[in-house]
Structure 1
Amino acid sequence: MIRTNASAIALAFATLFAGQALAAPQTYVLDPTHSFPRFSYDHMGMSKQILRFNKTTGTVVLDKEAKQAKVDVTIDMTSIDTGFDEFDEHIQGTDFLDTATYPTATFKSTKVNFQGDQPISIEGDLTIKGITKPITLTVNSFFSGPHPMLEKDAVGASATGVIKRSEFNAGMYAPAVGDEVTLDIALEAIVE
């Protein structure tokens, strides 16, 4: 009888710890072929210009059970893509991104807010040109599950937010060229 109770207790502990192992946070690495920060701004009232960065790295840590997450992203600012080489160089100059001095920008989450199982907003610190400002990104779509092609766990999201470029010492020609910049971020990440 004592042996049976000891076995039952051992089984209960094993089950408990196995459940906790399943609920452990998972780390996902950004897929550079499907993770692109884009931004848009008003160009002298004539059009909305949309540009993107082609090189982004980082991680997402997701604990589904605890409904907690962390996002840590680094953007290669020299990978700006305006669709025109001369304009890429112009945007990388000291009046705007100054990529010779500040080749990267970073976003580090401080809090991810969930509604049920879905993240709905990400609060964090955005650093551009050595200047760090808080920003909140609204999550417009979210996916968590097996990647349909790679057969590994994956996450994906689209998020938006608004910043003022003048707050990052990149406000040349404002307000003729819009100071308000809309960020539109597409992100996919695969479990390590």
Structure 2
Amino acid sequence: MKVVAGFAFLLLAAGSAWGDTYTIDPNHTLPVFEVGHLGFSTQRGRFEQTAGTIHLDWEKRTGSVTWTIQADSIDMGQAKWNEHLKSPDFFNVASFPTITYRAERLQFQGDTPVSAEGELTLLGVARPVKVSILRFTCGTHPINHKELCAADIEATLKRSEFGMSKYLPGVSDAVRVLVPVEAYKD
């Protein structure tokens, strides 16, 4: 019995030495994107369904991110426009239902993560994407009293690098991505 208890203690101690895991709150993690339209305006859309985990090793100042977006949850504010963006012209959600981001490398400035280098998979194409981590903060949620970390994530990418080239250059190649992220400690 002592051996089992000792082994269980070692597993728990090792788990805490490896850092903390946070689960992304899908109600407060809604990716927004901005793209230029015909040189006249900036159009914005967002995705309504996300899931993922963030691992932070505070001692080693390292971490990782695994994040999935349901492509068919795109919302441009108009049903007809949503359907066009779900088509093979853009996100081709029938063939590519998810967009994923995986980062095994987080950069810290002191105790604060400031960027992540990872791989974005969109339309079946995986490419390196570095994201900036802004306004990172952790604390106790004032309403539900759970521990959470939050930040604003920003990146710019070229949609053509993922094979999304329809209507270039009228619909700009550069896409700015803005993501408010909230994640609760497991």
Normalising by structure 1, we get a TM-score of 0.87
Equivalent position of 2:25 in the other structure: 31
User: What CA distance in whole angstroms lies between the structure 1 residues aligned with 2:44 and 2:76?
Assistant: 8
Q: Which amino acid aligns with 2:80?
A: E
User: What CA distance in whole angstroms lies between the structure 1 residues aligned with 2:67 and 2:153?
Assistant: 13
Secondary structure (helix, strand or coil) at the match of 2:91 reads coil
Equivalent position of 1:46 in the other structure: 40
Over the aligned positions, Cα root-mean-square deviation in angstroms equals: 1.7
Equivalent position of 1:135 in the other structure: 129
- Preserved contact between residue 53 and residue 77 of structure 1 (Cα < 8 Å): yes
Q: Which amino acid aligns with 2:70?
A: D
Secondary structure (helix, strand or coil) at the match of 2:39 reads coil
- Preserved contact between residue 110 and residue 125 of structure 1 (Cα < 8 Å): no
User: What CA distance in whole angstroms lies between the structure 2 residues aligned with 1:148 and 1:88?
Assistant: 35
Give the 3 Å change call, closer, same or farther, for CA 105–22 of structure 1 in structure 2. Answer: closer
Structure 1 residues not aligned, in runs of 5+? 1-17
- Preserved contact between residue 23 and residue 64 of structure 1 (Cα < 8 Å): no
For residues 48-87 of structure 1, the aligned pairs below 5 Å read 48-87=42-81
- Preserved contact between residue 145 and residue 154 of structure 1 (Cα < 8 Å): yes
- Preserved contact between residue 43 and residue 176 of structure 1 (Cα < 8 Å): yes
1:146 aligns with 2:143: no
Q: How many residues align?
A: 176
1:156 aligns with 2:150: yes
Secondary structure (helix, strand or coil) at the match of 1:89 reads helix
Secondary structure (helix, strand or coil) at the match of 1:88 reads helix
Structure ID, larger Rg:
1
Normalising by structure 2, we get a TM-score of 0.89
Structure 2 residues not aligned, in runs of 5+? 1-11
Equivalent position of 1:9 in the other structure: none
Deviation string for 1:14-55 (max 9, x for gaps)? xxxx99775541111111110011110100111111110000
Equivalent position of 1:176 in the other structure: 170
